[in-house]
Structure 1
Amino acid sequence: MMKKEHTLTVYTENQVGLLNKIAIIFSRRKINLESFNSSPSEIEKIYRFTIVVIETEEVVRNLVRQIEKIVDVFKVFNNTNDEIIWQQIALYKVPTSVIMKDVKVERLLREFGANAVVIRSDYTVFEATGQDDEINNLLKELDKYGLIEFVRSSRIAIIKSSEGVHKKVLDMQKNDPRKSPINNEYLNHKSKIFQM
């Protein structure tokens, strides 16, 4: 089977030690993370991790099963690049003197949709949003003009066809089985809700 890029979207509770539990699953299998991002989701107290790996479909399916076994994880979505809308943000620091002298640089920045976020007499920092090719192409071009520093963020992604877990969580909260005396019912209820 051929390896390709997969984006895993992991919905979790925000618990201490959860990141370590997820990291162990990858390190035991010697799988390198291409990108990792953690952020709040649209639901209060529920977080989402966006993890990018380059692996075969079979390996990724096994990863998803292992991650979903963690108690604090609600659901894991596995998507290829054509199934998501994704972006990264990059910051480029370049000498201000070059920008003032060379009109080509200004045109180049406009072409890539870059915005100035800091302008000082010694350097200017530009911000650009895009995918790998766009960010790398601007990096190559600005390198010709004395690029001082560069940094890019991890990937953030939204699944094209998914409603995420928002509706499921709201339904679960509405019918909160924790009010009943048996805790096992809550765990079974949670498990059924997040099966797709």
Structure 2
Amino acid sequence: MEKQWYTISVYSENNVGLLNRISGIFLKRHINIEGLNVSKSEIEGVSKFTIVVFTTEEWTRKIVGQIEKQVEVIKAYYHIDDETIYQESALFKIKSDLLFDERQIQNIIKESNSQIVTVARDFFVISKTGRRNEIDEMHDALEPYGIMQFVRSGRIAVSKAEMPITNLLQEFQNQ
């Protein structure tokens, strides 16, 4: 089977220690978590983990099965990139003098549809939201000028198809 990017969505109760147990599932299988985001979901009292991995569908299916065995987990799903709408965010901290002395920096900002978040005496910060490859391209373009700091968020994603999690939760509540 061919490796590809998978986005795993895990809906769960918000309990201490669950993230540790979920990451242990990946550790046991020697699969690296490429991106991780945890937030509240569209359902009150339910958290959503968005986990990005680069592996085979067979391994992804096995991992999702193991995740669903965790007591606090309500339901887990996985999708390929074509089945989701997703974004990442990044911040780039650059020396301030480059903003004014290097015209190419201004071109990079404009062409990448990014924004200057703040300007201080010694540095300025650029914010970029987009797909992983867009952020990587911007990083590669800025790297020759010197990046003082760089940080990227985990993927945030919604599925293109309707997620049956809300109906599933309503069924549990009605029992």
Deviation of 1:6 after TM superposition, in Å, equals: 1.0
Which residue in 2 is equivalent to 1:115?
115
| Matches of 1:45 and 1:117, distance apart in 2 | 33
Deviation of 1:164 after TM superposition, in Å, equals: 5.2
Which residue in 2 is equivalent to 1:50?
50
| Matches of 2:146 and 2:36, distance apart in 1 | 29
Gaps of 5+ in 2: none
SS at match of 1:161: coil
Structure with higher strand content: 2
Which residue in 1 is equivalent to 2:63?
63
- Pairwise mapping of residues 135-150 of structure 1 onto structure 2 (< 5 A)? 135-150=135-150
Which residue in 2 is equivalent to 1:89?
89
- Pairwise mapping of residues 124-135 of structure 1 onto structure 2 (< 5 A)? 124-135=124-135
| Matches of 1:9 and 1:157, distance apart in 2 | 9
- Matched letter for residue 97 of structure 2: S
- Matched letter for residue 7 of structure 1: T
State yes or no: 1:4 paired with 2:11: no
| Matches of 1:164 and 1:155, distance apart in 2 | 21
| Matches of 1:78 and 1:135, distance apart in 2 | 24
Which residue in 1 is equivalent to 2:76?
76
SS at match of 1:97: helix
Deviation of 1:171 after TM superposition, in Å, equals: 4.9
After TM superposition, the structure 1 stretch with the greater mean CA deviation from structure 2, 162-171 or 149-158, is 162-171
- Matched letter for residue 94 of structure 1: I
Which residue in 1 is equivalent to 2:20?
20
After TM superposition, the structure 1 stretch with the greater mean CA deviation from structure 2, 104-113 or 128-137, is 104-113
| Matches of 1:56 and 1:169, distance apart in 2 | 29
How large is the RMSD of aligned CA atoms in angstroms? 1.5
| Matches of 2:160 and 2:37, distance apart in 1 | 18
Q: Point out which structure has higher relative CO (alpha carbons under 8 A, 6+ apart).
A: 2
Deviation of 1:57 after TM superposition, in Å, equals: 1.2
| Matches of 2:145 and 2:30, distance apart in 1 | 39
Gaps of 5+ in 1: 178-196
Find the structure with the greater CA-based Rg.
1
| Matches of 1:45 and 1:86, distance apart in 2 | 23
Deviations 1:6-63 (A, max 9, x none): 1100000001111122122111222111111111111121001111111111111111
TM-score, normalisation: structure 2: 0.93
